[in-house]
Amino acid sequence: MEFIDKALDDYCVAHTQKEPDTLKQLSKETWQKILIPRMLSGHFQGRLLSLISKILAPKSILEIGTYTGYSTLCLAEGLAKDGKIHTIDINEELVDIQQKYFQKSEYREQIISHIGVARDIIPAIKSNFDLIFIDADKSNYSLYLDLVLPKLNPKAVVLSDNVLWSGKVIDKKADDDDTIALRAYNKKLKEHPDFETILLPIRDGLSISRFKD
Ligand SMILES: C[S@@+](CC[C@H](N)C(=O)[O-])C[C@H]1O[C@@H](n2cnc3c(N)ncnc32)[C@H](O)[C@@H]1O
């Protein structure tokens, strides 16, 4: 679902930093070879992730939902010199394409890939985080927030993708599990005393939440 007029959307993209060539190739290969390619963040949201990461210059990032690695590479662009990004995905069939592009990139030594179920992997990672990107199974967003909470550094930022879920969050007739879970998640973030949150109508909805000092 487009939340803004297509012409205006095109104008926003045209006035946004160019998509790096390697990411363009990764996007093309994902669309040619991988199932459900619309899951990939893409040019506009990718540049936003990159910019947020560059503003924060995090030492440690956690990404839940690697897919083909597009958003991993965008987030890695802002890492501090000795920083690391941990990224988790349950689907081992994606490893070849992820590694192809991770190994080509200048961030290859800074990316730590975990294959498996996020709810099991998150508690086992021995690190705290400055930036989190939640972009995996929607029904577990709330659980992921609970699991990352003890690992957040002061002023950490949590980015949550797809929080408008094609507009279903306000559709009174929508009562599928993911929609119900996302409504509850958005409410939880808004009411959480330790976060300041803004929900932006970018792409499928992206919220930015800042953890307390
Ligand atoms: C929307 S895609 C991620 C897109 C990617 N962040 C990007 O922007 O290019 C969601 C990913 O979450 C993964 N996933 C789904 N359930 C998961 C789980 N329980 N644990 C870990 N990964 C999971 C899927 O395999 C899929 O690759």
86-133 confidence digits (pLDDT tens): 999 999 999 999 999 999 999 999 999 999 999 999 999 999 999 999
| pLDDT > 90? residue 213 | yes
Dist. CA 95–CA 188, nearest whole Å: 33
Does 2 have pLDDT greater than 80?
A: no
Calpha distance 123→207 (Å, rounded): 23
The CA distance from 93 to 186, in Å, is: 31
Quick check: CB of 169 below 6 Å from ligand 1? Answer: no
Pocket test residue of 66, 160, 206 for ligand 1, highest count of atoms within 8 A of CB: 66
Strand pairing report for 111-115 and 60-64? unpaired
Contact (Cβ atoms closer than 8 angstroms) between residue 73 and residue 106: no
| Predicted confidence (pLDDT) at residue 199 exceeds the cutoff of 90 | yes
Locate all alpha helices (DSSP H) within 57-156, ordered by sequence.
70-76, 95-104, 118-124, 141-148
Q: Residue 38: phi, psi to the nearest 5? A: -65, -10
pTM of the model: 0.97
Residue with CA nearest ligand 1 atom 16: 137
Task: Please give the pLDDT value at position 60.
Answer: 98
Cα distances (Å, whole numbers) of residue 211 to 125, 151, 159, 176, 192: 20, 11, 11, 30, 10
Per-residue pLDDT tens over the stretch 142-185: 999 999 999 999 999 999 999 999 999 999 999 999 999 999 99
The structural domain count of the chain equals 1
Residue nearest to atom 14 of ligand 1 (CA): 136
Is any ligand 1 atom within 6 A of the Cβ of residue 132? no
102, 172 contact by CB (below 8 A): no
Please, which residues bridge with residue 200 across strands?
206
Tokens of 144: 């992921």
Q: How many CB atoms lie within 10 A of CB 98?
A: 23
Ligand 1 contacts CB of residue 135 (under 6 A): yes
Q: Model confidence over 54-78: pLDDT tens digits?
A: 999 999 999 999 999 999 999 999 9
Task: Assess if residue 125 is contained within a domain.
Answer: yes
Q: What is the pLDDT of residue 80?
A: 98
**Do residues 169 and 13 make contact, with C-beta atoms less than 8 angstroms apart?**
no
Average pLDDT in the chain: 97
- The pLDDT of residue 171 is 97
Residue 190 counted as domain residue: yes
Residue 196 within a domain:
yes
The preferred substitution site among 135, 141, 162 for testing ligand 1, maximizing ligand atoms within 8 Å of CB, is: 135
Q: Whose CA is nearest to atom 11 of ligand 1?
A: 65
* Spatial distance between the Cα atoms of 200 and 64, rounded to a whole number of angstroms: 20
Confidence tier at 4 by pLDDT (50, 70, 90): confident
CA distance 135 to 165: 12
Predicted local distance difference test score (pLDDT) of residue 1 = 67
Provide the domain limits for residue 182: 6-211
Report CA(54)–ligand 1 centroid distance (Å). 23
pLDDT category at 136 given cuts 50, 70, 90 is very high
Question: What pLDDT band is residue 10 in, cutting at 50, 70 and 90?
Answer: very high
Q: What is the mean pLDDT of residues 3-9?
A: 91
Q: Given CA atoms 55, 51, 147, 116 in this order, what sign does their dihedral have? A: negative
Residue 202 placed within a domain: yes
Structure tokens at 42: 């893409």
Give the pLDDT score at 53. 98
Identify whether 1 is part of a domain: no
53 lies in a domain? yes
Pairing of strands 111-115, 152-161: unpaired
Domain contains 105: yes
Supply the CATH number for residue 138's domain. 3.40.50.150
Helix (H, G, I), strand (E, B) or coil at 20: coil
